[in-house]
Amino acid sequence: MATDNDLILDAVDAFVARDVLPVAHQLEQQDSYPHEIVEKMKTLGLFGATIGIKYGGLGLPSSTYAQIVERVSAAWMSVSGIFNSHLIMCAAIERFATEEVKERFLPRMASGELRGGIALTEPDCGTDLQAIRTRAVLAGDEYVIDGTKQWITNSVEGNVLAVLVKTDPDAVPAHRGISLLIVEKSAGYRATKLKKLGYRGIDTGEVLFDGVRVSKQNLVGPVEGQGLKQILSGLALGRINVAARGVGVARACLDASLRYAQERKTFGVPIANHQAIQIKLADMATRVEAARLLTEKAANCYDSGERCDLEAGMAKLAATEAAVENSMEALRIHGAYGYSPDNVVERYYRDAPLLAIGEGTNELQRILIARQLVERNPV
C-alpha cells in the first residue's frame, strides 16, 4: 500500500518528467528563468515543503525533502536551488522568529506568493560571515540598511530576503553585533543578475541596499545580535539539500554513462565490455550509494532534533565530491560527444563544481568535520 511519502515522490517524479526534463536543456542554454516550472512548483507545494502545517506548509521531514531534491536535481539542478534558498530562510524564521512574524510571512512563503533567499555573502566576505559590512541602523521604528550582497539566489525573480546585517559594528566578539532582518523587495533593494559558468536559469544576483527601510518588527527573534546563530542553524538544512543535489547530479552522470557505454561500440563491442570503462562505472555507482546513505543519515539526524552539523558536513562533502568526480568520469566515458553542449553531461560538468563551493566550501567542511570529531571524542 502506498504511503503519503510514496505519493509525494510519485507526484514529484511526474512533475520532473512532464514539466522539467522537456525544457531543461533549452532554458539552461538560454540562461532563462523557468517561470512556468515555478508555477508548477507552487501547485505541488514545494515552496512549503518543510514549513509546518500550521503555517500552510507540507511539514515534510528533511529525509523526504532530500529525496525530492535528488529527483529534481537529477533532471536539472538549478530548479532545486529555487526552493532550497527559500526554505533555508523559512527554517530560520520558523525556528527563531516571533509568532507575529511567523504568521505574517510563513503562509505567504509556503504558497510561493513570497519567494525568498538568504543574503549573506558580500563582495569582500564569503565564508567569514563575521566580516560582513552591510549595516542596519535603528531609526525610530525602522532599520535603515546600507550595503551590498553578492551571489544571492532568488534575489532578482524572488521578492523577499533574509539579510544578515551588522546592527552593532563595535560588538566583541563580532557575532554579537550581527542580526537577521526580513526585507521584502517592495522596501526598495535593487538586484542585478550575475553570469555564471553553470547553474544557469536560476537568478543569482548582486543586491544593493541604499537607505532601505524596514520595520523593526522584521527582526528575526526578539532581540538583536542573534543573526549568525540563526542563519547557521538554517544552513544545516541547506547542506543536506546540497548533499541531495550532489546525489542527484552524481546519479544522473552514472545513468547517462551506463546508457552510453552500452550503446557506443569500439573494436566491435560496446565500450561497457572494456575493463577501463567497467572500473569507472563501478566507482561512479559506489560514490552514488555512499553519498545517498550519508545524506539519509544527516537528514534523519536533523529530523530527530539532534545536533547534526557533523553529519550534514560529511554528507555535503561526500556527495558534492561524488558529483564532481562522476561528472568528470561521465565526460571521459562520452569522449568528444560529452564535450559538446548538445550533450547533457556537459551541463553536469559545469554544474557540479558549484556544489563543492556553495553552502560552505568543501575545504571548510573538512575543517569543521575535524573540529567536531575532536570535540565529540576528547582524550
Residue type, 353: P
Q: What cell does 16 get?
A: 520532473
* CB-CB neighbours of 324 under 10 Å: 24
Sole residue written with cell 566515458? 333
* Cβ-proximal residues to 198 (8 Å cutoff; 6+ apart), any chain: 347, 350, 351, 352, 353, 354
- Asked whether 190 and 208 are in contact (CB, 8 A), the reply is yes
Q: How many Cα atoms sit within 13 Å of 106 on the Cβ side?
A: 27
CA geometry: angle 343, 346, 348, nearest 5 deg: 115
Q: How far is CA 347 from the centre of its chain?
A: 18
Exposure string for 56-81, b = 16+ CB within 10 A, e = fewer: bbbebebbbbbbbbbbbbbbbbbbbb
Q: Which of 335, 252, 255 is nearest to 71 (CA)?
A: 252
- 94 belongs to the catalytic site: no
Identify the DSSP state of 336. Answer: G
3-state secondary structure of 75: helix
122, 359, 363, 375: which is the annotated catalytic residue?
Answer: 359
DSSP for 161-207, please give it.
EEEEEES-TT-SSGGGGEEEEEEEGGG--EEEEPP-SSS-SS-EEEE
Cis bond upstream, residue 34 (ω within 30): no
3-state secondary structure of 342: coil
DSSP for 226-281, please give it.
-HHHHHHHHHHHHHHHHHHHHHHHHHHHHHHHHHHHHH-EETTEEGGGSHHHHHHH
Residues with catalytic function: 359
